[in-house]
Amino acid sequence: MDSGKNYITTEKRAELEKELLSLQTEKRKEILEALEFAKSLGDLSENAEYHQAREEQGKLEERISAIEHILRNSIVIKKHHSATVDVGSTVTVQKEGDKNKQTFQIVGSEEADFASGRISNNSPLGMALHGKKPGDKANFKTPKGETVYKVISIE
């Protein structure tokens, strides 16, 4: 795993491609129509509708550019079974001193969502878990001190 690379799942890629298509077709058309309407109102220097439509157009083009960059520069990962923790792995861990087990899927930064059990490969825990096997311990520093997790299983 290269922490300098961006990783996305096949599901996220499909979601981004769908969003990109929608932005490039429907949303662009809506904004162009709003710009045409605003221009028809006259003096552009004091035309709030025109300035708002231009601002929305700038935000739209920025989002399109960001999605294109992600799609062009990301490596698509799939859920897979492995003997060691890697991007795409689902790992069950137990925090030292805690009886509860937690399960996380290791994903790229674009999809990280701790609440739904998806942690970034670039997060402190994700980096500490990388390459570990069941039974190994993963240590990393937090503001409260060092935290240790034990790898229970990998899917």
Strands 145-154 and 137-142: antiparallel
Rounded CA separation 43/135 (Å): 71
Q: Which helix (H) or strand (E) holds 150?
A: strand 145-154
Strands 6-9 and 74-77: parallel
**φ, ψ of residue 81 in degrees (nearest 5):** -95, 135
CATH number for 6-76 (one of 1.10.287.180, 1.10.10.10, 3.30.70.20, 1.10.260.40): it is 1.10.287.180
Query: pLDDT tens-digit profile of 57-85?
Result: 999 999 999 999 999 999 998 777 788 99
Query: pLDDT tens-digit profile of 20-51?
Result: 999 999 999 999 999 998 888 877 777 888 88
pTM of the full structure:
0.76
Domain boundaries, the chain: 6-76, 79-154
Q: Tell me: domain 79-154, CATH 3.40.50.300, correct? A: no
